[in-house]
Amino acid sequence: MSQTKVYDTIIIGAGIAGASIAYTLQQKNQKVLVLEKESIASGGSGAAGAFVSPKIGKGSPLQTLTNEAFAYAYRFYTTYFPEYYKQTGVIRLPKEKEDARRFDSYRAYNYLPFSDYSQEQVESLGFHTSFDGFYFPEGGVCEAKAICEAMLVGCEVKLHEVKQLTYDSEVWHVDGFYANNVVLATGHQNHLIDVRYMGISGLWGERGDYQTALQLENSLHQSLSIGASENGMVKIGATHAKGVKSPSICDEKRLEGLLHNAGKLIDTSDFTLLQSHCGMRSGSRDYMPLVGSVIDVAFMLQTYPQLLRGAKPPLKYFENLYIYNGLGGRGFVFAPLLAEELSKYILEEKIVDSQVSPDRLFYKWCRKFNK
């Protein structure tokens, strides 16, 4: 091993998860190698509208975490990547009457700063609605692919599909590459190591970029997202296409449906499709992100068969193997904060928040799903 180059960390996958942890570790003087099978942001990250906004709701743990991440992301992007973050402000609108009633109960939990926008105010900004909404001025939009590429400037990136991972003599062997640590940031594709207990699954979505003369100063979220106009272009995106199991080409019919639904919110009469993007976003079983060590499932099941009956023996992890996944529909919101947390875990052994540690899902999976 003495003549072989051993990286501090190999990161597998160059979406927003892989790019943000590579950037963060590199800032901390770590020697990193990023291995990506297609191209930077070729997965869900490249398809994303990459809207960055707070979450509304009644103070759930996911909302609290999302809003903490949003505050961090806002500072991070405006400080380090201002050219790739457009602060458009984001309007949130109810989907229907029942949702509008719920908005009243959300107000007390809203991320600050925010403003109440009346229906008239929202309409004056170019959106059709029968409801009042919220306005979050710090919200905005990332240039999805460009910001991933920018984070990877100065990092070693190789186009390579990783087929095998083995740990030998205290070093990870990643096909022909070597590292002390490995971070799995492979989105919805997770064939390299048994991580079934995390319940990672993909949700398909589309984004259309349209040429239009429509001038929108703000972005808007409802059941879909509409971006503020930029250089005569507006992007519309949504990830709700359940049942698409594996990546396929962008479905024109679904894009038409997306445009049709957007037409209820804005004037789409002159919209011409410039480019379509589609992809899978990966989420965990409980919608919380997955950041931390990876449990050696085979060892645990062989050593402790009583796991299936509800026992909770001590966990055994793969040495220096980490996962960064489950960012759901908010990869660009979570990425900066969680990359910082993961880097502290890797470098300083600072325990990650138990809400995002994948450990939370293991015992239950053994009992319920591993039959």
Ligand X SMILES: Cc1cc2nc3c(=O)[nH]c(=O)nc-3n(C[C@H](O)[C@H](O)[C@H](O)COP(=O)(O)OP(=O)(O)OC[C@H]3O[C@@H](n4cnc5c(N)ncnc54)[C@H](O)[C@@H]3O)c2cc1C
Which residues of this protein are in contact with ligand X, per CB under 6 A?
A: 12-18, 35-38, 42-45, 47-51, 161-162, 185-187, 189, 205-207, 225, 237, 239, 279, 281-282, 325, 327-333
Q: How far is the CB of 302 from ligand X (least distance, A)?
A: 26
Alpha carbons 32 and 26: distance in angstroms, whole number = 7
Q: How far is the CB of 199 from ligand X (least distance, A)?
A: 15
125: number of CA atoms within 13 Å, CB side?
26
118: number of CA atoms within 13 Å, CB side?
3
Q: How far is the CB of 312 from ligand X (least distance, A)?
A: 29
Nearer to ligand X, 251 or 267 (CB): 251
Nearer to ligand X, 55 or 366 (CB): 55
Pair 271, 212: CB distance under 8 Å: yes
First to last CA, the chain: 41
Q: How far is the CB of 347 from ligand X (least distance, A)?
A: 21
Nearer to ligand X, 206 or 296 (CB): 206
Nearer to ligand X, 244 or 315 (CB): 244
Token pair in block for residue 42: 């070729």
Nearer to ligand X, 48 or 93 (CB): 48
For the chain, the residue count is 371
Pair type for strands 32-36 and 6-12: parallel
Type of residue found at 363: Y
Alpha carbons 259 and 214: distance in angstroms, whole number = 14
Q: How far is the CB of 46 from ligand X (least distance, A)?
A: 7
